[in-house]
Amino acid sequence: MYKFLVAEDSKVILRDIVHLIRESGYEAEIETAYDGETALEILKGFAPDIIVTDIKMPMVDGLSLIQRAKAMYPGVKCVIVSGYGDFIFTHEALMLQVDDYVMKPIDGEEFGEILRKLTKETDCRRVQMEEAALQRMVHGEEGEPRKLVYGEEGALRKQAQADETSAGKLWNGSYMLVLIRAGLFYQYAAPLSKEMVNGILERDGSKPEFWTVNTRWSNEKVLIFDMEGRQREYVLQQSAILLSELKKEYRRVNIICSGELRDIGQLHAQYSRLSVSLGRKVMLDESRIYDDGRQPDERKMYIRRKEEIEVFRRKMEKILKSRAVEDYRTEIHKNILHWGKMGYSVTVLRKFLLVLLDEMFTVAGIGSGWIEEPGTMADKMLNECGKLEELEECLQGYGEFLAAGKEEKGGISIEVAQKLTEYMQANLYKNLSLQEIADDFNISSSYICRIFKVYYSDTPISYYNRLKIEEAKKMLDEYRNMRVKDVAELLGFSDQYYFSKVFKQQYGVSPLVYRTQVQEEEG
């Protein structure tokens, strides 16, 4: 439904305009006025989507009418009808942000084209306002849906009340939530673009009945599907299309679909529960679509895992304290196989890693002197390992921790590690080799490798590249016109394709896609 206000002092022309609107096929509510003063009175109780007005009318002219209407309803679309061949009010009309104009006598085809353009813009604005309201609800900032449909500050609230009819079915009908998340941890993930998500589902030219909503995290989007006349399978099918396409751009993407919901007033709680549920399900080695309607017995699983984690803690405590390197390697391998067999999620794997790292900190006897705290180390490890085999390789490297003598894990090693990282940070725009670093510090390359494996769970060159990619991300954010190739060369990457590969491993998308997504988010 579109609401029109037509103001024209010529009854014949006004009748023709009304006829053209009705003949256009739009479902329309039309109010008319023969002078500007009457039109202003109508505006007090009628919030139009589109105003069509003559410029010169008795008492209040068309430009004054538009100025007053824009102050009351900032989103209203305005069309000037002019009988002046030179259109002497063009400049003033443009200053008032008039959307279009048409000359008398009115050409039906031209007027129809103007209506198509303005109704499309009105539709886009309605969707944007609805999505803004839904976003506030997802964030838990609003509580009464009817007040939220277009609830902007000041004058926009009047327009909000007027648009309730067009959005009313969203609040009253059933809907489904689809949560899309790129990456494992938001701090290491690239932004997920609303434009990309919408573009994937609109590729056939039609727009599915859904709303795309931002969450507090840039790597997430929530889709809200109107389920009127639709089956659940339709939403699952759309989700499968999304996953297939997004996987081409993002290293990891996971989607979870809710059951059919009705109470839009509970949107924040519904999203929060869905977000927690997805976090518990995401796997290390693959992107998936999860059905939130299928819930296992969480209580039994929780108790079993808690007991299993405690057993793991006691075993690792004994192994680490006795510095039994082979026992450590055997136990890690055995647990990796078990975790894979059980299909443990990233959340569960993180709990095991925290136990292991906590025990290592205790054995090291250096407390807060460790370079990074266990939670950060576990998150980075999981983010950088694409599968369990890579996680095992990473954990096996801690055998060096047990093999190293006590004198190599005290304050000296920490101090050297800090100096090494400061040195790398100061030389990001070079292409240092491991041997060059060893020569500059007058220590062996193997000792440097041992320090990085113990304190960073990484190799020196991999860590160095990670710092370079962090710098590349900052450059892509700041210098919008700099080519990706130039960024790569400045940071010492001779091969742009290798640079893109390393960037995608770290942030989940290629540098080119990352820049595009950030610009779209800010635009």
**What is the span of the domain harbouring residue 70?**
2-122
pLDDT confidence of residue 119: 92
**388, 403, 418 — which closes off a domain?**
403
Q: What is the pLDDT of residues 331-343, one digit of tens each?
A: 999 999 999 999 9
CATH of the domain at 103: 3.40.50.2300
Regarding whether 496 and 456 lie in a shared domain, the answer is: yes
Residue 213 CA to residue 48 CA, distance in Å, equals 26
User: 446 and 417, same structural domain?
Assistant: yes
Q: With 80 as the cut, is the pLDDT of residue 388 above it?
A: yes
pLDDT band of residue 152 (cuts 50, 70, 90) is very low
pLDDT above 60 (res 516)? yes
pLDDT in tens, 246-255: 998 888 999 9
Looking at residue 296, what is its pLDDT? Answer: 56
Do 428 and 479 lie in a common domain?
Answer: yes
Q: Is residue 497 part of a domain?
A: yes
Percent of the chain with pLDDT over 90: 33
In DSSP notation, 255-298 reads EEE---B--GGGHHHHHHHHHHHHHHH--SS---EEETT----H
- Tell whether 310 is covered by a domain: yes
Residues 416, 514 within the same domain:
yes
Domain of 470, CATH number, reads 1.10.10.60
pLDDT confidence of residue 136: 87
Same domain? 6 vs 43: yes
Question: What's the average model confidence in pLDDT over 214-231?
Answer: 90
The pLDDT of residue 403 is above 80:
no
pLDDT (0 to 100) of residue 49: 93
In whole numbers, what is the pLDDT of the chain averaged over residues? 82
Contact 506, 188 (CB under 8 A): yes
Is the Cβ–Cβ distance between 247 and 287 less than 8 Å? Answer: yes
Res. 205: pLDDT tops 70: no
Rounded-to-integer distance, Cα 520 and Cα 36, Å: 41
Q: What digits encode the pLDDT tens for the residues 237-296? A: 999 999 999 998 888 999 999 999 988 888 999 999 999 999 989 999 889 999 886 655
Q: Would you say residue 436 lies in a domain?
A: yes
How far does CA 469 lie from the centroid of its chain? 21
Instruction: Write down which residue in 350, 381, 403 finishes a domain.
Output: 403
The structure tokens listed for 194 are: 């609303």
Q: How confident is the model at residue 144 (pLDDT cuts 50, 70, 90)?
A: very low
**Same domain for 268 and 239:** yes
Which CATH number covers residue 241? 3.30.70
Q: Is the pLDDT of residue 147 over 80?
A: no
Domain boundary among 93, 122, 151: 122
Using CA atoms, how far apart are residues 183 and 160, in angstroms rounded to an integer? 36
Helix (H), strand (E) at residue 95? helix 90-95
**What per-residue confidence (pLDDT) applies to 243?**
95
Angstrom distance (rounded) from CA 108 to CA 21 = 10
123-137 pLDDT, tens per residue? 888 888 888 888 888
Residue 304 has pLDDT above 50, yes or no: yes
User: For the chain, what percentages of helix, strand and coil (3-state, to nearest 5) are there?
Assistant: 60, 10, 30
| pLDDT recorded at residue 299 | 67
Asked if the structure places residue 158 within a domain, the reply is no
CA 44, 47, 52, 57: dihedral to nearest 10 degrees?
Answer: 0
Same domain for 358 and 414, yes or no, is no
In a domain, 232, yes or no: yes
Same domain, 301 and 207: no
Could you tell me which residue, 462 or 171, shows the higher pLDDT?
A: 462
The reply to whether 381 falls in a domain is: yes
Asked whether residue 363 falls in the same domain as residue 285, the answer is no
| pLDDT surpasses 90 at 223 | yes
pLDDT in tens, 26-84: 889 999 999 989 999 999 889 899 999 988 888 888 888 988 898 888 889 999 888 76
Under DSSP, is residue 399 helix (H, G, I), strand (E, B) or coil?
Answer: helix
132 within some domain: no
136 lies in a domain? no
Q: What is the DSSP string of 419-438?
A: HHHHHHHHTTTS---HHHHH
What is the rounded (10 degree) CA torsion for 420, 421, 427, 430?
A: 90
**Residues facing residue 170 across a β-bridge:** none
Range with the poorest average pLDDT among 290-299, 347-356, 432-441: 290-299
pLDDT of res. 402: 64
Judge if 520 and 424 occupy the same domain.
yes
- Say if residue 388 is in the same domain as residue 414: no
Q: What is the per-residue pLDDT for 468?
A: 92
Q: Which of 108-112, 270-274, 370-374 has the lowest mean pLDDT?
A: 370-374
Same domain, yes or no, for 483 and 387? no
d(Cα 172, Cα 157) in Å, to the nearest integer?
21
Give CA torsion, residues 40, 46, 49, 53, to 10 deg: -30
Dist CA 79 CA 231 (whole Å): 41
As a whole number of angstroms, the distance between CA 101 and CA 51 comes to 11
The per-residue pLDDT for 351 is 94
Q: Count of domains in the chain?
A: 4
Which residue intervals of 385-427 are DSSP H helices?
Answer: 388-396, 399-403, 411-426
**470 alpha-carbon distance from chain centroid:** 20
Distance in angstroms (rounded) separating the CA atoms of residues 72 and 125:
16
pLDDT: which is higher, 242 or 152 = 242
pTM above 0.75, yes or no: no
* Separation of alpha carbons 421 and 494, rounded Å: 22
